[in-house]
C-alpha cells in the first residue's frame, strides 16, 4: 500500500515542455486516473513516477519518502503496459508465476503466491491448463494475475486496455475495478477515454498540454469543472458554451443573455467581467414555451429513454438531452430553460471557471 505524491514536477525534452509544474497526491488505495488527449503528458508523468524517466525538476514521494532519484527497480511499483500479452507456450500457473521466478523467489513460495493470486481472480481451477485454450475473459484474468502476483506497493497502468475492442474493454474495466476493490492497491491508470475514466476512477486528473487542469472525484470534475477545457473533455455530448458580455461580481445570481434573464449559481469568489461564457450540460436543459431563449430544432437523435435534440438559437447551437417521449421534430420552434443550480460560468479569455 502506498501514497504517491508529486510536487511541482516538470519534464523538458530539449526545448519542448512535456509536463509543467504538476502537483498531486494519490492517496493510499486510490484508483487514480490520468485523463487527457494524446500528447498531453500522461505517459511522461507515469514514467517519472515509475522511475523510467528523470524529472527536469520537482519531487516524487512514495509514502513520504523522496524517491525522485531512485531507480525503477528500487521503487516496488509495478508498471503494467498491456494486459493481454501472455506466453502462449506456458500454462496458467507458469504465466502468473513468471515474474516471481525471474526474481529468483523460491519455488514453494512461487507456488503459494500463484495459488493465492489465482483464487483472488477466481481462476484457480484453470491453473494447469495451457493459456492457448482459454476463453478471452480468462486470458485477461491470467494477464492480470501476472501483473499483481508480485504484490507491489502500487500499480501504474498505461492504457492497458488500449487495443481491445469496445465490448471486451468494458468487461475488463469491470474486472479491473472489482479486482481493485478486493486488493485495494494504489493504482495510477492512464487513459484518453473519458467514459473509462468516469467508470473506474476514485479520482481523475485532467491534463492539457503538460498541465493538470483539475483533479478530484469524477462527480466533482463533472459538476464543477475548473475550466472550459475540462467541461468540454468530460461529458457526451459535451457541455454547451453560450458566450455573452457582462459582469459577474461577488453575490451575482443572474446574468443577461440577449435580453433573457437567467438565474445562475451565486458568485462567491472574485468574479470577472467582459467576455464571459455560460456553460450548460445537455441534461440540464428543459423545453419551456414561455422562455425567451428560443430556437429551431434541427435534429433529434433518439436514444431509447432520452433523445439528443439539436437546437439553433441566437446564442449558437445548443444540444439538449430530454425525455424521448417529448415530441421534438426538425423545424419545431422551442423555448429553452436551464436548471439554475447546475450551470457553470467561465471567463471568456482564460476559460477558467468563475464561482
We find the least distance from the C-beta atom of residue 79 to ligand ATP, in angstroms, to be 13
Rounded to whole angstroms, how far apart are CA atoms 300 and 313?
Answer: 15
Quick count: other Cβ atoms within 10 Å of Cβ 195? Answer: 13
The set of cell numbers assigned to 117 is 493470486
Nearest approach in angstroms of CB 162 to ligand ATP is: 9
Quick note: the x/- pattern for ligand ATP over 130-169, rule CB under 6 A, is: ----------------------------------------
192 sits near ligand ATP (criterion: CB under 6 A): yes
Site for ligand ATP contains 95 (CB under 6 A): no
In angstroms, what is the minimal distance from the CB of 47 to ligand ATP? 7
Interacting span for ligand ATP (CB under 6 A) from 33-41, 133-141, 171-179, 196-204? 33-41
Which residue in 2, 4, 26, 36 binds ligand ATP (CB under 6 A)? 36
Contact with ligand ATP (CB under 6 A) among 5, 6, 41, 145: 41
- 61 Cβ contact list (under 8 Å, min separation 6): 3, 4, 5, 6, 7, 67
Query: Grid coordinates standing for 337?
Result: 430553460
Query: b/e string for 211-245 if b means 16 or more Cβ within 10 A?
Result: bbbbbbebeebbeebbbbbbbebbbeebbbbbebe
Among 22, 43, 140, 227, binds ligand ATP (CB under 6 A): 43
1, 13, 274, 350: which one binds ligand ATP (CB under 6 A): 13
By CB under 6 A, residue 316 contacts ligand ATP: no
The answer to whether the Cα torsion of 318, 324, 328, 329 is positive or negative is positive
User: At closest approach, how far in Å is the CB of 178 from ligand ATP?
Assistant: 25
Q: Which is nearer to ligand ATP, 81 or 302 (CB)?
A: 81
DSSP code per residue over 26-55: E-TT-EEEEE--TTSSHHHHHHHHHTSS--
Kindly state the cell numbers that stand for 306. 432520452
Report the alpha-carbon distance of residue 54 to residue 72 in Å, rounded. Answer: 10
Q: Which of 6, 9, 22, 44 binds ligand ATP (CB under 6 A)?
A: 44
Which residues make up the interface to ligand ATP (CB under 6 A)?
13, 16, 18, 36, 38-44, 192
Amino acid at each position: 500500500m502506498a501514497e504517491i505524491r508529486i510536487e511541482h514536477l516538470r519534464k523538458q525534452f530539449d526545448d519542448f515542455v512535456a509536463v509543467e509544474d504538476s502537483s498531486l497526491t494519490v492517496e493510499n488505495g486510490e484508483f487514480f486516473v490520468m485523463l487527457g488527449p494524446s500528447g498531453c503528458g500522461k505517459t511522461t508523468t507515469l514514467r517519472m513516477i515509475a522511475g523510467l524517466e528523470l524529472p527536469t525538476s520537482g519531487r516524487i514521494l512514495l509514502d513520504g519518502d523522496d524517491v525522485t532519484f531512485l531507480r525503477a527497480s528500487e521503487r516496488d511499483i509495478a508498471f503494467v503496459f498491456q494486459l493481454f500479452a501472455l506466453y502462449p507456450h506456458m500454462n496458467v500457473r507458469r504465466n502468473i508465476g513468471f515474474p516471481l521466478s525471474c526474481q529468483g523467489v523460491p519455488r514453494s513460495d512461487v507456488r503459494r503466491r500463484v495459488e493465492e493470486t489465482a483464487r483472488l481472480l477466481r481462476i484457480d481451477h484453470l491453473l494447469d491448463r495451457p493459456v492457448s485454450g482459454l476463453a478471452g475473459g480468462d486470458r485477461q484474468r491470467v494477464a492480470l494475475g501476472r501483473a499483481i502476483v508480485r504484490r507491489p506497493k502500487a500499480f501504474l497502468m498505461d492504457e492497458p486496455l488500449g487495443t481491445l475492442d469496445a465490448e471486451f474493454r468494458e468487461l475488463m474495466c469491470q474486472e479491473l475495478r472489482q479486482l481493485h476493490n478486493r486488493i485495494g492497491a494504489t493504482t495510477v491508470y492512464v487513459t484518453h477515454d473519458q467514459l473509462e475514466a468516469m467508470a473506474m476512477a476514485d479520482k481523475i486528473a485532467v491534463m492539457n498540454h503538460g498541465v493538470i487542469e483539475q483533479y478530484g472525484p469524477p462527480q466533482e470534475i463533472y459538476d464543477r469543472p475548473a475550466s472550459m477545457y475540462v467541461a468540454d473533455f468530460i461529458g457526451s455530448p459535451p457541455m454547451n458554451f453560450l458566450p455573452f458580455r457582462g459582469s459577474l461580481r461577488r453575490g451575482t445570481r443572474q446574468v443577461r443573455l440577449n435580453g433573457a434573464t437567467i438565474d445562475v449559481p451565486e458568485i462567491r469568489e472574485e468574479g470577472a467581467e467582459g467576455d464571459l461564457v455560460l456553460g450548460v450540460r445537455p441534461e440540464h436543459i428543459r423545453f419551456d414555451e414561455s422562455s425567451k431563449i428560443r430556437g429551431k430544432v434541427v435534429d433529434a437523435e433518439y436514444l431509447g429513454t432520452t433523445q439528443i435534440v439539436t437546437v439553433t438559437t441566437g446564442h449558437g447551437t445548443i444540444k439538449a438531452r430530454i425525455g424521448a417521449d417529448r415530441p421534438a421534430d426538425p423545424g419545431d420552434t422551442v423555448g429553452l430553460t436551464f436548471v439554475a443550480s447546475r450551470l457553470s460560468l467561465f471567463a471568456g479569455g482564460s476559460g477558467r471557471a468563475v464561482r
